[in-house]
Amino acid sequence: MDSALSDPHNGSAEAGGAANGTTRPPSTPEGIALAYGSLLLMALLPIFFGALRSVRCARGKNASDMPETITSRDAARFPIIASCTLLGLYLFFKIFSQEYINLLLSMYFFVLGILALSHTISPFMNKFFPANFPNRQYQLLFTQGSGENKEEIINYEFDAKDLVCLGLSSIVGVWYLLRKHWIANNLFGLAFSLNGVELLHLNNVSTGCILLGGLFIYDVFWVFGTNVMVTVAKSFEAPIKLVFPQDLLEKGLEADNFAMLGLGDIVIPGIFIALLLRFDISLKKNTHTYFYTSFAAYIFGLGLTIFIMHIFKHAQPALLYLVPACIGFPVLVALAKGEVTEMFSYEESNPKDAAAVTEGSKEGTEPSASKGLEKKEK
């Protein structure tokens, strides 16, 4: 997991200068401000819209859109798995040719990126299809076993509109595969981030604290303790990070002096912020206090990361600043409102049960955004 905010070509300790021995001209203050502001904006978009879509996802009926629930056990193991993966990639880049590794990864993320981008743009594209569009329904079903032992492996429902979105996403995929352009990289990165926030659900706030706390230590160790994360981030030619050129004003779309933000710094806080939005809805007070508080906390934390990185000219573990802000701000609000017990006793139901509840309540009542969500009473 790439989870560091870095400025690899503007005097950072890791870069030191261009690899060929020449020194890049320093970026202008305007270019730096534009790059950092754009990264901040791009980070906020998938969190905001992904959180909104996570509410609909939690009460959806389509098996292909069912969220993946993260339990406390998953959260505790995640930093260990992420560390092993990161170290494995680092060793691969040291032992094998970087060119062949990136070629293999490019093909892998080419397929994933097309699917993620198609899923992302599908709700927006539906508004542009004419009413008489022949929208046929399809289902991709893959099972193993037979009779009573038959088990579903893949059950994906889609329609003709989804196929059109898949075709449009494929154009971006070919662009990325052939040119590795930073705009195509960002389109895939934003799609991965939004899908992550939408489809990865924490089952309760305690699990979120475990996950963020573990990755807080992970991020600090791998950025400050070693050069592993920054090395992988700069060697890994895949859309696992958002990038924005600091020399855009001078070179236009062909600029190549990038600041970058790992997708882990978006998705990990994002799924916690999305959980707080669903908690807000479960309170049935018609307010989104905890969502807006955590969203503002994210802006504060990422802004502080950018400020510290610019001052010290060194890549920063963004979760070092994001985790205390995203957990601390909502907890302080809960303390002020006397809702700490409600916050930590909130539990999300099983997605399949939520789908059954929504289906059963179709007649007679309008399904609300809180369907499929419940609060566990102590």
Report the distance separating Cα 198 and Cα 264, nearest Å: 14
Report the distance separating Cα 186 and Cα 181, nearest Å: 9
Closest CA to 280 of 265, 268, 266, 295: 295
Mean pLDDT per segment of 10 residues, for the chain of length 378 residues? 54 34 67 93 96 85 73 94 93 86 88 94 86 85 83 82 92 92 95 96 95 94 87 84 91 86 94 96 91 97 93 86 96 95 86 47 43 42
Q: pLDDT at position 253, please?
A: 84
Report the distance separating Cα 120 and Cα 112, nearest Å: 12
User: Tokens at residue 262, please?
Assistant: 């790992």
Asked if residue 263 lies in contact with residue 193, where contact means CB atoms within 8 angstroms, the answer is yes
Q: pLDDT at position 141, please?
A: 86
| pTM strictly above 0.85 | no
Active site residues: 219, 265
